[in-house]
Amino acid sequence: MSVPAWQRRASERQQLLDDLMNLYYRKEEVEDQDEVDRTFGFKVLQKALHCLYPDGDYKVPDSSASKFLVNDILPRIKEFSRSGNEERVVLVHFIERVFKTCTGHIHGALQAEEHAHPERIFKAKSATAEVPLRG
């Protein structure tokens, strides 16, 4: 069985991204023990964006997240990629996935608060209580 070359390469990229995210999740679990202050992913994003745009006016602090990206993620992307553009695209896809993970924690915290304190958030006894449309 054969497939178009683009389809096989897309599948290979997808597999690489899945592998990279598995590495990320294992490292994040170790680094982010505090459920409230989950900063590892944001630090990885900060370093990844700096790698995409190294001429920026900002410095990225040295951290375990920076080291993880530079030592574990970027070399695998570089080894996999067949061009500079492919390397940047794979890094961007990694950034997108990490960003979704980071924001998922924030959304989850709000959902937990909505469940625990509906009167504070919704000014109602529950999220499903009927309230006036305005006001």
pLDDT at 114 (0 to 100): 94
Higher pLDDT, 60 or 21: 21
Quick check: is 116 in a domain?
Answer: no
Q: Is 119 inside any structural domain?
A: no
**62, HSE (Cβ side, Cα atoms, 13 Å):** 1
* Per-residue pLDDT tens over the stretch 92-121: 999 999 999 989 988 999 999 999 999 999
What range does the domain containing 17 cover? 5-99
Q: Rounded to two decimals, what is the model's pTM? A: 0.80
Contact in structure between 48 and 68 (CB atoms under 8 Å): no
Asked whether residue 29 is domain-assigned, the answer is yes
Q: Fill in the DSSP letter of residue 107.
A: H
Q: Is residue 44 part of a domain?
A: yes
Structural domain count, the chain: 1
For residues 107 and 19, what is the distance between their CA atoms, to the nearest angstrom? 25
Q: Is residue 9 part of a domain?
A: yes
